[in-house]
Amino acid sequence: MSLLRRLGDFVDQRTGHRALLAHALDEPVRGGARWAYVFGSALLGSFLVQVVTGIALMTSYAPSEKTAWASVHYITFIQSGGWLVRGLHHFGAQAMVVVLAAHLTQVALYGAYKKPREVTWWLGLSLFAMTLGFALTGYLLPWDQKGYWATRVATNIAGTVPVVGDATQKMMQGGAEYGSLTLTRFYALHVAVLPALLVLIVSAHVALFRKHGVTPSARADLTRVELFFPKQLLKDVVAVLAVVAVVFVLAWREHGAPLDAPADPASDYPARPEWYFLALFQLLKYFHGPLEIVGTVVLPAVLGAYLFALPLLDRKPGTALRGRVGPLVPLALIAAGAVGLTLQAQHQDAGDEAFQKERLKADERATIANRIAKEGVPPEGPLAMMRRNPDLRGPELFDKHCTACHTLGAHGADKDRTAPKLDGWGTEAWVLAMIHDPDGDARFGRSIYKGEMPSVDVPSPDSPPTFKPMAAEDQAAVAAFLASFGDTAPPRDPAKAAKGKTIVAERCTTCHLFEGKGDDSDEGLAPELSGWGSVPWIRAQIANPATNATYREHALDASRKGHMPRFDGEIRAEDIDLLATWLHAATRR
């Protein structure tokens, strides 16, 4: 103990730390310690959490269009402890907004903005604006759909400000468009400019607070004076602990923070801001055309002006709430309005089926993106990764190019269909149905091939008198053989498939090609059966169905109007590959 004391003496003689500490701890609290005074400290505490987690995140985050999303994905899903650090930072930011609102409310209710504390109040307001600046700039950094679209709305709002709007927007974005310069600028604001300003202004804010002391409640017993240490400090520590605990529980429960699909400027995305900006978002719905600026600029500016002017409006001496109702009414209205607008925005979204559907689609995309990125993201960035993924690109291409004639699952409308339904195409069950009833509605029934293929077991008027229905066992063998081309696993019953091959080679080649030979009837209609249902077969069929590799060389002649067209000029070769890969899997699902 005495050694510690001597060390303390040594340091104190050289730094005077004891006097400094005493000055910090012995701050008089007029009227005694109160829970009402904890919010400022709670804000400082949660800011420190943001600083620590933020610096940690900086060691892995890479702000560029091609790497931002990938690095945040790496932090969230791969780096050990990453999910927790990012979760603490994400929910810590939201906690700051909540505690900030509580701090402002407490100060307003206690009249702590009144003379001579006006400057403390104004500095506090600028800290409020800065915190929202942190939230706004931070939201973009993951460069995911959510942050990208929400921030685009925000910068476009900045652009609507008269006179300075255009320049402001370009300054923020680093140009007329969003890109890597937007990210680096937002990053610089978020990790350097705003923190430096915040530290500066917080210092001034706290110094002024210490100069004037707390503003006790009007009913407080002013003869009672406690020192900051220990009672108020204990309350402050408990408050910070409570905030950190809530943030921790939220981060733990959500296992980090959500990450949406990578930002895609070409996509449709149901953009919504973070919940604390929802009121402003909702406000924009009510002002149209030339009045737009009322929602984007005028009302927020009026709100700011009111908050700024509050200490000037409320000049009567005394802090009793009863004497200050007038000046505080707008604040109550603003609070009620913000809550009302937020609830209204949520209510409208909950009842908006189109929005819910879009949201679901976006979530699905996010899930797939987050899954495939675990294999690594190419240097060309996450959008290239998405474009090269059959599960994402396949359905897009199918919807765009195939649903005019085909349907598959929920893709395409059955009323428009003029070609086979593709569900189950390539499987044994499909072959069995096809050889029994080729003109079924799901198969050739609506196509130009209706009436061209005979059933193997139902005689038609054209059947020769020697027609003998194919035995069920043989049909099963044919199905097993034809489905085997598209199967990734070897056939379960090789003998059955081999028997099917013999039957196909004998019986089907009257019309079909098989391994390049056949079509004894010389009609030039029925497609090649070897490889049928495999990815190469599908790819060849999409690229050009008139090469004999699938359908026949005359398939696209004018006389075959209504036949499937070739797509090799319309869809890029890589995309045909992806479409074929996806179709092969999707038809079998």
Partner 1 sequence: MSSSEPPSSTPGSSANPSVSSNDVEPRPARRTVTLAIVVGGCAIAAATAIPAAAFVSAPIASKGAAGRWVRTLRLDQLVDGEPKRVAIVDDRRDAWTIERAVELGSVWVVKNGDEVSAYSAVCPHLGCSVNVAPGAGAGFACPCHTSAFAPDGKRKSGPAPRDLDTLATRIEEGFVAVDFRRFRIGIPEKVEA
Contact set with partner 1 (CB under 8 A): 32-36, 38-39, 45, 48-49, 52-53, 55-57, 59-60, 67, 70-71, 73-74, 78-82, 84-85, 88, 101-103, 105-106, 109, 217, 219-221, 223-227, 229-231, 233-234, 237-238, 240-241, 244-245, 248, 373, 375-379
Q: What angle do CA 523, 527, 528 make, to 5 degrees?
A: 120
- Give whichever of 234 and 339 is closer to partner 1, judged by the CB atom: 234
- Give whichever of 256 and 500 is closer to partner 1, judged by the CB atom: 256
CB of 72 to partner 1, least distance (A): 9
CB of 346 to partner 1, least distance (A): 20
Whole-angstrom Cα Rg for the chain = 35
CB of 76 to partner 1, least distance (A): 11
Query: d(Cα 14, Cα 20) in Å, to the nearest integer?
Result: 12
**Inter-CA distances, 501 with 241, 455, 494, 507, 529, Å:** 74, 18, 10, 10, 10
- Give whichever of 265 and 376 is closer to partner 1, judged by the CB atom: 376
> In this structure, are residues 197 and 130 in contact, taking their beta carbons and an 8 Å threshold?
yes
CB of 59 to partner 1, least distance (A): 6
**Amino acid identity for residue 40 in this structure:** G
**Inter-CA distances, 4 with 11, 14, 19, 222, Å:** 11, 16, 17, 39
Q: What is the 3-state secondary structure (H, E, C) of 11-53?
A: HHHHHCHHHHHHHHHCCEEECCCCHHHHHHHHHHHHHHHHHHH
CB of 319 to partner 1, least distance (A): 11
CB of 6 to partner 1, least distance (A): 22
Q: Which residues are bridge partners to 513 per DSSP?
A: 518, 528
- Give whichever of 226 and 349 is closer to partner 1, judged by the CB atom: 226
Q: Which residues lie closer than 8 Å to 508 by C-beta, 6 or more apart?
A: 478, 514, 518, 526, 529
- Give whichever of 379 and 465 is closer to partner 1, judged by the CB atom: 379
CB of 111 to partner 1, least distance (A): 12
- Give whichever of 223 and 559 is closer to partner 1, judged by the CB atom: 223
Q: Which residues are bridge partners to 528 per DSSP?
A: 513
CB of 92 to partner 1, least distance (A): 9
Handedness of CA 185, 191, 193, 198 (dihedral sign): positive
The DSSP symbol for 86 reads H
- Give whichever of 45 and 270 is closer to partner 1, judged by the CB atom: 45
Query: d(Cα 266, Cα 277) in Å, to the nearest integer?
Result: 24
Tokens of 249: 């529980």
- Give whichever of 248 and 355 is closer to partner 1, judged by the CB atom: 248
- Give whichever of 41 and 455 is closer to partner 1, judged by the CB atom: 41
Residue of 354, 91, 335, 318 lying closest to 218 (CA atoms): 318
103 CB neighbour count, 10 Å cutoff: 22
CB of 8 to partner 1, least distance (A): 16
Q: Which residues are bridge partners to 60 per DSSP?
A: none
Give the number of C-alpha atoms closer than 13 A to the C-alpha of residue 173, restricted to the C-beta side: 21
Give the number of C-alpha atoms closer than 13 A to the C-alpha of residue 563, restricted to the C-beta side: 22
- Give whichever of 295 and 327 is closer to partner 1, judged by the CB atom: 327
Query: d(Cα 307, Cα 319) in Å, to the nearest integer?
Result: 17
> In this structure, are residues 276 and 97 in contact, taking their beta carbons and an 8 Å threshold?
yes
- Give whichever of 83 and 281 is closer to partner 1, judged by the CB atom: 83
Helix, strand or coil, per DSSP, at residue 150: helix
CB of 331 to partner 1, least distance (A): 13
CB of 90 to partner 1, least distance (A): 13
